[in-house]
Homo-oligomer: A and B are copies of this chain.
Amino acid sequence: MSYQFEPGKMYRMPTHFGPSSGPRQGPDGRRFENIDTPKATTLAVSFLTNPDQLEALLPENFELSGEPVVTVAGIYITEIEWLAGRGYNIIAITLPASFNGETDHVTGDFMPVLWENLTDPIITGREELGFPKIYCELPEPTVLGDERHAIASWQGFKWLDLKVNNLHEQSAEEIAALGAQSSSDGILFYKYMPKTGDWGTADVAYPCLSPADSPNRVVKERWSGEGTVEFHKARWEDMPTQYNIVNTLYDLEIREYRGASVTKTAGSKDLSDQRILR
């Protein structure tokens, strides 16, 4: 007797071993609260670039919103409940954009690509959420004197140096003010899944929103400062599946740096509020 999918349960490949275990469905189907955990430390550097270069990264129905400022963030996460207390790291690229569809009109942080150093969240993120996650090595940033230095590499090729320094700790009031200031509807991205056999066509292609609201997320400490970001040009031989991505980022003009920060947070959400934009 072949198996049947259990109604209302979430599945990922392989589907043959029962409902999947992941961020939005744990053992016995239970949810994860994300209160006080995970812990995250984020290093972020922003720079003003050429708006034409950013427009070229946007899919249909998206357009730049406000100044063409790119933010490169290294996010170092621990105590993740759905990974039974393990952690992993992220490099995320965002730029301000808005989506104007038939029914949805939202403005937020468009994320054209993000890297993670663990395959399991890459798979759940791409398939369940539609985040354009890919893999690279992401060691802990070094901390030397006043400087924090993050790197990213793929099989021995270092493609990113991100440095943050001249940090000044912010007060509770400054931190609260930052949260109040933000008018982003959330993270915008584009899910795409190719169709097997009909090469060049899609099974799935739609824009998505990860809403900004995250009531359990608490900023514990924050420092503002300065920083730099340096992408390294890759040959196909260096990064055969990602050279085009890294080289596009390498080509971005850095017209002016727009500050940097280090932020420590606790708490998150399971992203089950994610939705398709239409």
Which of A67-75, A142-150, A170-178, A179-187 lies at the binding interface? Answer: A142-150
- With a CB–CB cut-off of 8 A, which chain B residues contact A196? 128-130, 191, 206, 208, 274-276
Q: Is the CB of B78 within 8 A of A143?
A: yes
Contact with B along A55-68 (1 / 0, CB 8 A): 11111111100000
Q: How far is the CA of A10 from the CA of B8 in the complex (A)?
A: 33
Residue A7 interfacial (CB < 8 Å) = yes
Which of the residues B17, B60, B126, B155 comes within 8 Å of A139, measured between beta carbons?
A: B155
Q: Is the CB of A140 within 8 A of B202?
A: no
Q: How far is the CA of A26 from the CA of B1 in the complex (A)?
A: 42
Q: How far is the CA of A3 from the CA of B134 in the complex (A)?
A: 21
Q: How far is the CA of A57 from the CA of B191 in the complex (A)?
A: 29
Residue A135 interfacial (CB < 8 Å) = yes
Residue A215 interfacial (CB < 8 Å) = no
Q: Is the CB of A156 within 8 A of B155?
A: no
Q: How far is the CA of A221 from the CA of B5 in the complex (A)?
A: 42
Q: Is the CB of B203 within 8 A of A193?
A: yes
Q: How far is the CA of A144 from the CA of B191 in the complex (A)?
A: 32
Q: Is the CB of B8 within 8 A of A200?
A: yes
- With a CB–CB cut-off of 8 A, which chain B residues contact A58? 2-3, 16
Q: Is the CB of B86 within 8 A of A192?
A: no
Chain A, interface size: which category?
35 or more
Quote the shortest CB–CB distance from A53 to chain B (angstroms).
Answer: 11
- With a CB–CB cut-off of 8 A, which chain B residues contact A238? 84
Q: How far is the CA of A31 from the CA of B250 in the complex (A)?
A: 26
Q: Is the CB of B241 within 8 A of A120?
A: yes
- With a CB–CB cut-off of 8 A, which chain B residues contact A85? 142-144, 147, 149, 237
- With a CB–CB cut-off of 8 A, which chain B residues contact A128? 194, 196, 199
Residue A151 interfacial (CB < 8 Å) = yes
Quote the shortest CB–CB distance from A33 to chain B (angstroms).
Answer: 11
Residue A132 interfacial (CB < 8 Å) = yes
Mind listing 9 A-B residue pairs with CB under 8 Å? A1-B55, A2-B55, A12-B194, A16-B132, A27-B236, A82-B240, A126-B127, A128-B196, A139-B155
Q: State the A residues within 8 Å of B (CB).
A: 1-4, 7-18, 20-22, 24-27, 37, 52, 55-63, 78-79, 81-87, 112-113, 119-120, 122-124, 126-135, 137, 139-140, 142-144, 147, 149, 151, 153, 155-158, 190-194, 196-197, 199-200, 202-204, 206, 208, 236-238, 240-245, 248, 272, 274-276
